[in-house]
Structure 1
Amino acid sequence: MEARVHDDPETFRPLAMPLLAADPVRNTVLLTAAESLSADSVMITLHDGDDVVGLVTQVLPYPLVVTAMPIEAAELVARTVHGVRPQLTGSSGVVAHVEAFNAAWTELTGATATMQFGSRLFRLGELVPPKVDGRARQAAEVDLPLVTKWRDAFMAETFPEEAEAQAKRRPDSDGVIILWEVDGQPVSYAGARGPYAGMVRVAPVYTPEELRGHGYASAATAAVSQWALDQGAEHVLLFTDVANPTPNRLYPRLGYEPLDDSVEYKFSN
């Protein structure tokens, strides 16, 4: 197997995209990352003769994503990454692939790998909307201050290390936002991105703490999932925090089925 380093997204994408598109569900994060590549990204393809058989990439400031790396290539990938990004900050992806890369990386560099969080990928089967008081509507420009406030609260609660960067983006800049209302007042919201490569990814889902416990998040999630289906999505996906039992119980009731577990690690010397 041969590893090739690329310094231009325009040469990397034509090699990477067919491989990623062949399994868009498992590679959903990588497909998103491929749209954000720049000259300072890590872009490595793995070749077996004329065939592209794997890849890894890193879009700063995020970790290296190794889901599409063949496990048996872990040592080769670690050496190659070290040549272009010796101060790699972390790794992420499907558990078995991350564990293989981390073993090779820590052996090579002497770094310590510390897990930051784990997530679970779900795919929608048959949608089962809950029976919850209220109605759904798509957010409008007038809702932007409220949605921004809720988005920032979600990020601070769930991904505090990314909250500042996300706060600079408009919540509706690359997807749709569905509000769930009761008596004309928004009580929860769910966002979605796509369709892309036949996929829509649902995120974020947020209900203010004082309004939780009424099924509003379930209703908003079901509504945005129906929106995704109406757009022609072949796959409707979402991620949960493995350590949070509430969403891991909630989403299967709506028809979501668990697939892969992923992890993110931080490296330190």
Structure 2
Amino acid sequence: MDVRAYDESAKFRAAIGDFYTADPVRHTLAVTVIHRFLDDPAITPVMLTVHDEQGLHGVAFRTAPWPMVVSGLPVDAAGPAADVLAETDPALPGVNGPRENAEAFAGAWAARTGATVREVIGGMLYRLGDLAEPAVAGRARLAGEADVPLLVAWRRDFQVESRGHDRYTERSEELIRRGFALGDGVLIWERDGQPVSWANVGRPVAGMCRVGPVYTPPEHRAHGYGSAATAAASRWALAQGAGHVLLFTDLANPTVNSIYPKIGFRPVGPTAELEFTVTS
């Protein structure tokens, strides 16, 4: 197999064509990250394609400091890709994608670099079927400028709770404002005028929207606010013309994996985010 690395996003886009957008459900993370971050001057992307005798066989990329996205990297391409990345991106922090693909690449990476592999999140990708909105006290509203400080704090709390740290602490406000600028649906669920939950959903890209983050502060949990906010965000996405409304969950959290099916989400397949650590 022929592995090709790219140092210009325009050349990478030209090389992959509609590879990701042809299946925006499987490649939801890749589609949205490319749309939102690939051309960000503050980020240096790592991009590669894998070719065989039939042509384009696989694609992988990452936007630092995030892991490599491998939904488009077949299992049989994991070894050749790891060989190249061990030279071009030796500080690769991890990998994210469908579990089979993520584990295949992690195994190849560990074999070539001696890195240890730790599972950060074992997840599930869900797709909305028929939306069933729960009866929950309160109402949804679109967030605005006055909500930015609250959303920055909630975003940080969500990252720390779900991943143990916030990779983008210094850019939290910028990322919240970027969502507004891109036309995201930023929904806050209020009860008696008090914000109690937040759900974000991107505008449709290739007919697909993904809900997330969804965050409810601990003191407001167990009242259905997260479900209500998620349903409101999903309704907003459908109104924007989304053909697929998706979300990721952490399988270690039994609560979210029970509430999302109740509002109409159905499992697509398991995912994994795996972290690499170099041992001395």
Superposition TM-score tier, normalisation by shorter sequence: over 0.9
Distance 1:227 1:260 in 2: 24
Give the distance between the partners of 2:2 and 2:228, measured in 1 at CA.
Answer: 48
Does structure 1 retain, via aligned residues, the 8 Å contact 2:185–2:201?
yes
Residue 120, structure 1, aligned to residue 124, structure 2: yes
Q: Distance in 2 between matches of 1:23 and 1:150?
A: 32
Aligned equivalents of 2:51, 2:32: Cα separation in 1: 22
- Rounded to whole Å, the distance in 2 between the matches of 1:30 and 1:133 is 36
TM-align CA RMSD = 1.9
1: CA distance between counterparts of 2:203 and 2:232?
Answer: 15
Q: CA deviation at 1:37?
A: 2.8
How far the C-alpha of 1:50 sits from its partner, in A, is 5.7
SS of the equivalent of 2:204 reads strand
Q: Are the aligned partners of 1:13 and 1:34 in contact in 2 as well (CA < 8 Å)? A: no
Cα pair 1:181 1:187 within 8 Å, conserved: yes
Question: How far is 1:17 from its partner?
Answer: 4.0
In structure 2, the residue matched to 1:8 is 8
Which is further off, 77-86 or 221-230? 77-86
Match status 1:199 vs 2:234: no
Q: Structure 1, unaligned stretches of length 5 or more?
A: none
Q: State how 1:40-51 maps to structure 2 within 5 Å.
A: 40-49=44-53, 51=55
Classify 1:87/1:185 alpha carbon distance in 2 versus 1 (closer, same or farther; 3 Å): closer
- Does the alignment pair 1:239 with 2:254? no
Deviates more, 1:212-221 or 1:46-55: 46-55
Post-superposition CA distance 1:21-49 (Å, at most 9, x none): 11111111111232423684221111234
- The size of the alignment, in residue pairs, is 269
CA distance in 1, matches of 2:89, 2:160: 29
Percent identity of paired positions between Structure 1 and Structure 2: 43
1:245-256 → structure 2 map (5 Å cutoff): 245-256=254-265
Q: Which runs of 4+ in 1 moved over 6 A?
A: none
User: Counterpart of 2:174?
Assistant: 169
Residue of structure 2 equivalent to 1:147: 151
Q: Report the counterpart of residue 38 of structure 2 in structure 1.
A: 37
Structure 1 residues 126-151: Cα deviation after superposition (integer angstroms, max 9, x where no partner): 10000112221112222333333322
Whether contact under 8 Å (1:152, 1:166) holds in the other structure is: no
1:17 to 1:159, Cα distance in 2 relative to 1, 3 A? farther
Match of 1:132 among 133, 136, 152: 136
Residues 168-177 or 217-226, more deviating? 168-177
